[in-house]
Structures are given as C-alpha cells and as structure tokens.
Amino acid sequence: MTRLGFSRGNRDERPIALNCGTNGSDDREGFGFNSQLMEKSNSGAPHPQRILLVDDDPAAIQLIGTILTSVADLCFATNGKDALRLAREARPDLILLDAEMPGMSGFELLAALKADFDLAEVPVIFITGHTEAGFEVSALDMGAADFIAKPFRSSLVMARVKTHLRMKRMADELRRAATTDALTGVANRRSFDESMQREWARARRTGDALSLLSIDVDHFKLYNDRYGHQNGDACLQHVAHALVSACHRPADLVARYGGEEFMMLLPETPRGGAMHVSRRVLATVQALAIVHESSPTMQCVSVSVGIACHDETSPCLADLHVQHAVVGLVSAADRALYCAKRAGRAQARLEEISAPATEGRATTPSADSPPALRSPAPRRGAFHPAAPGNPSPYFPRKAV
C-alpha cells in the first residue's frame, strides 16, 4: 500500500494526494462527505465493505480468508503495529483480531483503535482460544464487539461476520443522515462544527496552517422570489456540487452552514493557498451559468467569499481554548464575507483573525487590504431560469 506524499507548505499549486492500490480514505472525517457526494452522483451501488484480519499465524489468516473471500474485501496483518498502520491508511468496516500476538497484543491494539477518533467506531471481533468469562468481560469492557472461539466453525464465522457488517452499514447510514445536509448532500452544520474543532486541535498540535472560506450565494432571496423555491433548491444543489469539485484534496470539507451559506474548511492551507482556492470557487460557480436576471451584480448566479486563515503570520491563538480559537476563525471569515458583499459581491476578501474579545467590528477594505478576487465576466449562452414553457434553469428550452 503506497501513499504519495507532497509538501503542503505552499498550496498555490494544490497537489492532489493519491492512495495507490486501495479503496481507503484519508484519515479525516471530512473526506467522507465530499467523496460520498461524488460517489452518489456516479453510481448508486453501495461501496464494498472491508475486513482487516489480524493474526500472527499465517495459516489462520488463510483459513479465515478462504471462508470470507466472498463476503467483503480482505486485507491482513501479522502483528499489531502493521494492523494499526493499515487501519489508519484505509479504515476497515470490521476487524477480526487474535487476542495473543507477540509485540503489541490484541488488547493493546484494541485500546489503540478505540483511542483513535477515526477508528473508534470500527467493530472488533476477538478470535481466541480463551473461554473463561473474565477474559470476555475485560475485552467487552474495552469495546470489543464479539468473540469467536478457537477452533471455530466456518458457518459460525460467516454468520457473525455478516451480522456485524450489516450492523456497521446501518450505523454508517444513521451517522451519515445525522451529519449530512439532506438537500445538498454535503456536510451539515453539526458536522462542520465537529470538524472545525478537530482540525483546529490538529493544527495547534502539528503547527500546520488552517484556512476557512465562508461562501454565500449572492442575492439568493431575489432568486427565490423570481424563480420559486424549487428552482432555488436546485440552484443550491448545483452550487454545492460545484464547491465540492473545487476541492482537490481529500481533507477539504464543504458544509452547508445555513440557508444559502456554505463553509469550506481547508486543513494545512496557508493564506496563499486559500486565495487560490477562492479563485477556483468563484470561477467554478460562475461556470454553472445559472441565469439570475434579478441579480444587481451580474445576470447569472454568483457567490461572495470570505477568507480567514491561521498560519505563521497570524496572531498567536495557540494559548486560547479550542472553542475561542474556532470562534475567532469563523468570525474572521464572516467579517471577510461582509467586506466582499460591501465591495460589490462576486469576489473574495481576506480578513485577519483576532481574539474573541475584539470580535464584532466589521471592517471595510482599506488601501492595505489584499486585492479583491472577482468572478470572471458572465459567459454568453447561459441557461435561463424557469419561465412559461421553460421549466428548468439548468436546461435550455428545446427547439420546436
């Protein structure tokens, strides 16, 4: 399993991290929402589930693999350290774990899995020769999902594995429903708040930059008033897809913050990279060519973008409580969005973050402010919103 790494100090080039030879995910939750949105648009088939087999006995791995080869995608490790590395590189849906292994034991590996935010919900089935009640109670208290006693029967292994995979898929669907915006398919406000706190804690620990874009659809109320709420919903769906397509790295997160406002969280991204992404956001939404004849800004749907960034040139917020630091970053993005709107909309503005005690003062662009990043001029031949005889703003009326 190979991961191609890139230096992330300068994001202007926006290299794309690749996972070769796997169907795994990045180690951040944000990738789940963006990748799920793209997968749903490409195929309705469920993603194949993945089982990680961990046993220091190759014969046991071969036997279990033969039993489960038609159930899910399989990978294996013969020690705890390799198992933990594989699980972090490509999160499995189920782990079958031998309790007694040299080096890192099964119990130590289970404790490490449960301590990892991204792996804590993965069910673990112990495969063991121990039958005493105390052993099982200890493992269950640590978070094990089930036991399979050695020597095992293939029918029992198959039945228990299928049961836990089915329960895992149901739990994933419930979790996805609770953290996904029903209209647009991107992350919802709850998921954004959790991801924001998690990424700030990660950035403070590693010293990496963290950027946030606050994105608002310009004059959306006028759009709804003219074309109706159904077309307004379709417009938001298209904008959400455009924002996801503007993200080129797995850790980036697009979330619907409320109404027509979206947030784009960009880990390991300094201000130069954030401004580069904002240009792509403006251009990508503009390329949708959704006509908005009631917009005072331009005759098609556009967005305004507020940029906030914490990097080596920002005021030090490392000593602040995580909640206060998050508030400072979100407030700076909100102030920047306000500046972009006051400056004429369809552009991006950058605002410096500050401690929460100084928040609440909206600033206007000054001579020292970064130049506005503006949307390109409207294209000819844009699609026209719904009108009598033309029911959709996204498909031109057929010739008759």
pLDDT for 319 equals 54
pLDDT, averaged across the chain: 80
pLDDT at residue 303 tops 80: yes
Give strand ranges (E) for the chain. Answer: 2-4, 18-20, 50-54, 73-77, 94-98, 124-128, 146-149, 210-217, 253-258, 261-267, 303-310, 347-350, 373-374
DSSP-assigned states of every residue in 385-399: PPBTTB--TTSPPPP
**Within 10 A of 121 (CB to CB), how many other CB atoms are there?**
15
Residue whose C-alpha is closest to residue 171's, from 69, 250, 94, 109: 94
> In the numeric block, which tokens belong to residue 323?
């909640």
CA distances for 286 relative to 10, 303, 357, angstroms: 26, 8, 37
Identify the band that residue 132 occupies on the pLDDT scale cut at 50, 70 and 90: confident
Domain range 189-374, its CATH number among 3.30.1300.10, 3.50.50.60, 1.10.540.10, 3.30.70.270? 3.30.70.270
Q: Check residues 169 and 30 and name the one with the higher pLDDT.
A: 169
Mean predicted confidence (pLDDT) in 174-199:
92
Kindly report the CATH number that applies to the domain delimited by 27-179: 3.40.50.2300
The rounded distance, in Å, linking the Cα atoms of 144 and 138 is: 9
Residues of the chain with CATH 3.30.70.270: 189-374
Judged against a pLDDT cut of 70, whether residue 372 lies above it is answered with no
Task: Give me the pLDDT at residue 115, please.
Answer: 92
- Tens of pLDDT along 24-59? 334 444 444 554 444 444 444 567 899 999 999 999
Q: What is the mean pLDDT of residues 122-134?
A: 85
193 vs 371, higher pLDDT = 193
355: tokens are 């401690």
Between CA 143 and CA 139 the distance in angstroms is 6
pLDDT surpassing 70 at residue 379:
no
What pLDDT is attached to residue 374?
64
More confident residue, 366 or 137: 137
Burial tier of 251 (Cβ tally within 10 Å: 0-12, 13-18, 19+) = buried
Over 80: is that where the pLDDT of 141 sits? yes
> Taking residues 153-174, what's their average pLDDT?
93
* Average pLDDT estimate for 115-121: 90
pLDDT attached to residue 285 = 97
pLDDT confidence of residue 223: 97
Phi first, then psi: give them for residue 273, nearest 5 degrees: -65, -40
Is residue 26 within 8 A of residue 17, CB to CB? The reply is yes
CA distance readout (Å), 324 to 85, 110, 210:
33, 34, 15
For residues 89-93, give the mean pLDDT. Answer: 94
| Residue extent(s) of CATH 3.40.50.2300 domains in the chain | 27-179
Does the pLDDT value for residue 193 go beyond 50? yes
Written as one letter, the residue type at 68 is L
- In the prediction, which pLDDT does 246 show? 95
Residue 50: the pLDDT is: 95
For the chain, the C-alpha Rg in angstroms (whole number) is 25
pLDDT, tens digit (0-9, with 9 covering 90-100), for 247-284: 989 899 999 999 999 999 999 999 999 999 999 999 99
Provide the 8-state DSSP code for 328: H
